[in-house]
A and B are shown apart, each in its own frame.
Chain A
Amino acid sequence: MTVIEARDLRKAFGTTIALDGIDLHVEDGRILGLIGPNGAGKTTALNAIVGLSSYNGELRVLGRDPWTQRDQLMNHVCFISDVAVLPRWIKVSQTLDYVAGVHPRFDRRKAESFLSKTNIRNSNRVRELSKGMVAQLHLALVMAIDARLLVLDEPTLGLDILYRKQFYDSLLNDYFDGHRTIVVTTHQVEEIQDVLTDVMFINRGRIAFSSSVDEFESRFLEVSVHPEQLATAHALKPIHERQVFGRSVLLFDRIDRQRLAALGEVHKPSIADLFVAIIGNQMNQAPQAQGAAQ
């Protein structure tokens, strides 16, 4: 089943173009990581998907238009947009009461059992909790909702590494069941690499790269090239080159592993490596392209 279907999604704020024609097709059971530099349009795209902002182009989430049918959609979609958006005045027990009062698919016992594993007490007000605990509370509320799609926009920004790790661990172990769909953006790419099934890079409002993690792993290889093999290696057209301890590390797309093994030590690149390669290349090319056009 298709969860998100977008065609030529566009959005501009005044003269600033945030989304410059994005196509998106997300099936259920996927965990999609949306990765991009600051101001790339990630949040704009997610806001359109959860009905927080208007858009141009075609967009259907679970068959609905999120902008005009946000309230119905929220019966099946959950989102955490930014950390610490829970109101500071509310008590933990009141968040449970309220969500149980308005959400048909909220399982209060589930939320309470998540919370019982934390230091959060029912009588606490949100303002008394640390940033990490607020994130835990929000996650407990969201995980207790039986939703089809969960959208997370920088859900762990500003949290320390223990909370971040715990956050994604509970998400995978206690929430993800193989049928739900999760879309997540974050700057800490390395931390969610093992979680994702799909990855998408966004830059300047466009999709720069899109692939399943399986495909990514079979396509890309990095080689720490022996100096004497450098010329041969360059002939294979690496997509990126960086220097590590005085040796060239080259990133190759769709080159046979055997051939690369002759050039040096081969290893699998991380998503972050590929991100730096692709987005870094784009960032460098853009000014040159502009200069050439003039």
Chain B
Amino acid sequence: MSTPPNPPSTSANAVPGTSLESQAISPSLISPGRRFYWSVRRELWENRSIWIAPLAVSALTLLGFLISTFRLPGRMRDALALDPLKLHQLIERPYDFSALLIMGATLLVAIFYCLDALHGERRDRSILFWKSLPISDFATVLSKAAIPLFILPLITFAFTVATQSIIYLINSAVLLGSGLGIAPLWNHLSLFQSWAMLLYHLLAVHSLWYAPFFAWLLMVSAWARRAPFLWAALPLLAIGVVEKIAFSTSYFGAMLLNRIAGAPEGSTATPTAISMAALTPVTLFQFLGSAGLWSGLAVAALFLVIAVRLRQHRQPI
């Protein structure tokens, strides 16, 4: 540098050696963790459906349940006279129902999120702004993958727990008020246990087992110039059809179905069904040691690596 920077007027504070050049060479002061945090927050700002959708579903289930409670004591009395299995079903139904609905909603959000994640930023040209900031394509793709793989399962869990707690409170109040007592509720419901199962189900199935699906969708959204939904769905269909015509087999289709519905090779290793059995250490180790889990994760990693390369190369559309 030929000319030194103008000395500041408060030269008493000037530290010798802090020239422009030494500043420039100094390493970045922002940790990867902080960049990741802000990248994820950015996704939540942009995609408010991530929490609005489960919130709306929770509110709707609560509304429906509230209306049904007016009939609850009467039905409960009828059921108490009947066999305990029916009573059990009657009590459990709103809890299962709310969990399933929230889960379905967030799964849909996850699919549409992934299809848009690396496509929308090229469509609206905002990728030119994101790329002007010191965040690598790898970190960006990773933060986007974190939404379906971690954030959405955790949000699903939080909303389900909150909704079920409210249902539980209303349930108890209604039963106490009607003089039936809350004993039937207590006897037939173990909320904490079911919450533990839910969390396990979400992390094991929705994050780990479904990871290749989400990674595939992200990769297609980084690749497609338009209609990422079609590009994500049609090739899978095409492979199945070609296989059927060429070899009269349907291994590919069966593999996809297994991945969606779980239970590869008829084992208990995939905990797609929410059951207590999945939480025993034996099945847990079986799941963690299953080839299906790890091959799926390897495929997911491959798709994500390709998505990173695509984001580096692709121009705005």
Contacts and interface: CB of A to CB of B under 8 A. Distances in A.
Interface of A: 1, 28-29, 50-54, 62, 70-76, 78-82, 84-91, 94, 97-99, 101-104, 138, 146, 148, 177-179
B29 A101 contact: no
A254 B132 CA distance: 42
6 contacts: A72-B28, A86-B126, A89-B46, A91-B45, A102-B34, A179-B20
Contacts of B39: 102
Given A87-B46, A178-B3, A179-B5, A72 B134 contact: yes
Contacts of A89: 45-46
B86 to A, nearest CB: 50
B32 to A, nearest CB: 10
B150 interface: no
B20 A104 contact: no
Contacts of B21: 1
Nearest to B4: A179
A236 B275 CA distance: 95
A51 B131 contact: yes
Given A85-B125, A98-B38, A104-B29, 14 more contacts: A1-B1, A52-B315, A62-B24, A74-B131, A79-B132, A80-B132, A81-B132, A82-B125, A86-B129, A94-B42, A98-B42, A101-B35, A103-B30, A103-B133
B139 A104 contact: no
A286 B132 CA distance: 37
A82 B127 CA distance: 12
Contacts of B30: 101-104
A103 B24 CA distance: 14
A98 B135 CA distance: 12
B256 interface: no
Nearest to A87: B126
Q: Secondary structure of the B side of the interface?
A: helix
B136 interface: yes
Interface in B135-149: 135-137, 139
B180 interface: no
B59 interface: no
Interface string B35-51: 10111011001100000
Contacts of B34: 101-102
A75 B42 contact: no
A14 to B, nearest CB: 14
Which of B126, B128, B132 has the most chain A CB within a 10 Å cutoff? B132
B124 A88 contact: yes
A71 B37 contact: no
B128 A82 contact: yes
B313 interface: yes
B134 A179 contact: no
A265 to B, nearest CB: 39
A84 B312 CA distance: 21
Nearest to A28: B1
Given A1-B1, A102-B39, A148-B24, A71 B129 contact: no
A94 B45 contact: yes
B135 A102 contact: yes
B253 to A, nearest CB: 37
Nearest to A52: B131
Contacts of B136: 70-71
